[in-house]
Structure 1
Amino acid sequence: MVVAGENMLKLKVFLICLAVMLILFSAIGAYEMYAMERAIARSIYADAFDDMQDIGYLEPQLADYYVQRMRDLGWDVSGDAFSGSHPRMEGIRARKERNEMVTLSLSVYPSRLSQWMNRFVEGEKAFTFTGSRPSEYFDPGW
């Protein structure tokens, strides 16, 4: 009888260790997925910001291109992902010779897993990036 009790104890210890390993590896995998998606969102933001800085405004076709890239990743960009960005029209583009700034704001909802992780880390579901830089656009007639 003592042997059966020891085997049951070993089985319980094995199952607990297995459960802990599964939880630990799942948590590591979830964090890595979150970090990868956040890095992708940050790179899209940086690329869009560089393009915006070069032309002095957020061109609608450029915004549509980046929104489509995010849709291809399966992210929710049903609203205006670039809300708060300025300027957004060619007629009021920022110019370098006037020392004007461009401001880009990006807000996107990634996969559900990354939303949960971001809520835990940042306190909100969406990945949000905002910044301002001096425009690099020179008016050709200047």
Structure 2
Amino acid sequence: MVKAKVFLVCLMVLLFVISGVGAYHLYAMERAIARGIYADILDDMQDIGYLDPALAEYYTKKMAELGWDVTADVFAGSWPRTMGERARKEQKESVTLTVTVTPSNVAKWLNAFVEGDTAFSFTGSRPSEYFDPGW
């Protein structure tokens, strides 16, 4: 009888450890995907000098396909957001991108444990590479 109890305890511990490792890998993968999307948008934004609405819409749809909550403005805090406010290289202006997305439930719980926040947030600035041809 004791052997059966020990076997069940060991089995439960094994299942718990495997589940924890799997959940952490899911969290790490989702965070890496979010970081990759952030880096791609910031590269494009640096090249054109602003956050193009078509670019923002494309990546918002991509994040929604991953099952992330994108009902709020995930690019709130990003600047410039229109062509009229475009950052120019010759004036040594910078572009700022802020991306905040709410991932899947497992990643949300692990991110709350690791980072203290349920959403993935990335913020950064780079000097604009857009050179105005009329300058």
TM bucket (normalised to shorter chain) is over 0.9
Alignment match, 1:5: none
Gaps of 5+ in 1: 1-7
Alignment match, 1:119: 112
1:103 is aligned with what amino acid? T
Deviation, structure 1 residue 49: 0.4
What root-mean-square deviation, in Å, do the aligned CA atoms of Structure 1 and Structure 2 show? 0.4
Aligned-partner SS, 1:63: helix
Deviation, structure 1 residue 106: 0.1
Deviations 1:63-119 (A, max 9, x none): 000000000101100000000000001001000011100000000001011000000
Alignment match, 2:48: 55
Alignment match, 2:69: 76
Q: Which has the larger radius of gyration?
A: 1
Alignment match, 1:90: 83
Alignment match, 1:3: none
User: Structure 1 segments of 4 or more deviating over 2 A?
Assistant: none
1:39 is aligned with what amino acid? A
Aligned-partner SS, 1:97: coil
Gaps of 5+ in 2: none
Q: Distance in 2 between the 1:24 and 1:72 partners?
A: 30
Aligned-partner SS, 2:90: helix
Alignment match, 2:123: 130
Deviation, structure 1 residue 20: 0.3
TM-score with structure 2 setting the length: 0.99
Aligned length: 135
Q: Which has the higher helix share?
A: 1
Q: Distance in 1 between the 2:92 and 2:26 partners?
A: 40
Deviations 1:7-64 (A, max 9, x none): x110011000000000000000000000000000000000000000000000111100
Q: Distance in 2 between the 1:36 and 1:73 partners?
A: 12
